[in-house]
Amino acid sequence: MKKLLSLILAMTLLIGASAMAEALPAETLFTPGTYEAEAQGFGGMVQVTVTVAENEITDVTIVGEMETPALGGVAVGTMGEAIVKAQTPHVDGVSGATVTSAAIIAAATEALEAAGADIALLDEYRRDESEDVVKEEKTIETEIVIIGAGGAGMTAAIMAQQAGKDFVILEKMPYVGGNTTKATGGMNAAETLYQKEQGVEDSVELFAQDTMVGGHNINDPDLVNTLAAKSAEAIDWLDSIGADLPKISFSGGASTNRIHAPADGSAVGNYLVDKFSEKLKELGVEVMLNTKATELMVENGQVVGVKAEGPDAYYTIKSKAVILASGGFGANLEMIADYRPDLQGTVTTNAPGATGDGIVMAQAVGAALVDIEQIQLHPTVEQSTSMLITESVRGDGAILVNQNGERFTNELLTRDAVSAAELAQEGQYAYIIFDQHLRDNLKAIEKYVTNGLTVQGDTIEALAEQLNIPPETLAKTLADWNEAVATQNDAQFGRTTGMNENLTVAPYYAIQVAPGIHHTMGGVKINTSAEVINTEGNAIPGLFAAGEVTGGVHGGNRLGGNAVADIVIFGRIAAESAVEFVSK
């Protein structure tokens, strides 16, 4: 009798009293003990250890040291508790960490099956977590509200904290980083200390000119000049918070070595998100995660706060200023189709939180939009995973070939030009080709190898055979390219950058790529003080914006490396302007 009562009590806790009318299983669910399994995650193997009693999952421990902290790391840190709560491995994954989430579910399933579990039965008795939660109404008073904890929002938060201001920072996702986690190359900046140390000649004027030309000259010249003029001091500021970017290389559309990256060549986005997170933690700043801003509050024409919804409360946040740093709309395929029907069905590299919420909220209070239909395709996206292959691969010397094994463009033209050239090829795709030397010197490549995106050959002919490319054609293409590097003369396509190293060190690698939606250049209109401009051409008092939520900086095409410049430079400006505004 005691055993039966204990079983009933356990099941009551697991599935709730309302479900007890259903029959309990006659036999035990598990063989008590601890079981382990692993599965391939995004960055490496994910290990799941499950401990079970006769009728209860008592503990789930997940280890995934190679997963990206801002994405997969969140799944590693939260999904164990979710499995224990639901009493089944079939729980919701973390948005933006699909691969890691799937690995955790697969490994947990394998471990539970080893414990004798019938997964279908666990799903049948899954704890019902759909009960309505009664949310409180809460009011917060502060000086500044920052909407979005991506790169621009975290930059603004660090600046606001260093200025001694009271603020809150909201993030609708369960993790920080936003689209910044998707940035792979680096940050453009001119006349920097690192360029001078490495003998790179550059100027603010040339940076601005490249950006205007790359954007088809529809950019706002004042914003572009501000971006270029304040880029070197932004690199210095990053140094001051421990986020140095000393490695310099080429990026598409640049006239010289200008893109700054981490010393080891790792992806710039995750690197900066980690450094920003560490700095915010050091400064004692807490981000309100899973809290979505829903409305800008306005009184007498001035923005005076934000309404938001969190997991357990509805918030009215009264403030003197608001900084919009909520990102673009590259993950909102319906919104993209509204502005660009021709892009219907195109894969996107964007983080799942990039849905344009801030743009919609700003419009509701009279903000003007600029270049909203300008949406960028990135030419090197692996289509089955939507994983972006960083421009640094081409910047460090890789080439693109078609299914015939032939080059078809200057690989470091602007992204729109390279994307158009790819779409003109048979099958509308290409292969990016590189060698072991390039892999050894660019850490970002390791995740492509780990995730099985690369095809490898001990010789270029062996690689060609795996790709169903005529071996003699690909061998000649590579020989011609290596001769162009040796003579610094690309007679075929006039490439002049990213030609410091040839491709001669076996083994050789290829990744099949095609264009994917990468960046929305348009958004809320701002001035050089990051003030949001209304439809009448005037600044909206108390409202500032930075990053991909804004338009005007990039025009009709964003240069690789300018998004990171945008979030850091205008994130700093937005914070400085908001601090000045609330200090009046």
SS (H, E, C) 359-426: HHHHHHCCECEECCCCEEEEEEEECCCCEECCHHHHHCCCEEECCCCCCCCCCCCCHHHHHHHHHCCH
CA 153 to chain centre: 14
Q: Confidence class of residue 129 from pLDDT cuts 50, 70 and 90?
A: low
Residues 380-405, mean pLDDT to the nearest whole number: 94
**Alpha-helical runs (H) found in 202-297:** 204-214, 221-229, 231-240, 268-283
Reported as a pLDDT band with limits 50, 70 and 90, residue 24 is very low
Q: Is the pTM above the cut of 0.75?
A: yes
Q: At what angle do helices 221-229 and 562-582 cross, to 10 degrees?
A: 90
Are 505 and 457 spatial neighbours (Cβ–Cβ below 8 Å)?
A: no
Give the tens place of pLDDT for each residue, 241-286.
999 999 999 888 999 999 999 999 888 999 999 999 999 999 999 9
So which residues are the catalytic ones? 415
> Once rounded to an integer, what is the mean pLDDT over residues 394-420?
96
Biggest CA pair distance of the chain: 88
> What CA–CA distance (Å, rounded) separates 51 from 20?
24
Query: What does pLDDT average to over the chain?
Result: 92
**Residue 5 pLDDT:** 31
Domains annotated for the chain, with CATH where assigned, are: 2-124 (3.90.1010.20), 137-183+267-372+522-582 (3.50.50.60), 376-516 (3.90.700.10)
Q: Which residues on adjacent β-strands are paired with residue 23? A: none
In degrees and rounded to multiples of 5, residue 59 shows phi and psi of -160, 140
Report how far residue 468's alpha carbon sits from residue 451's, in angstroms, rounded to the nearest whole number: 22
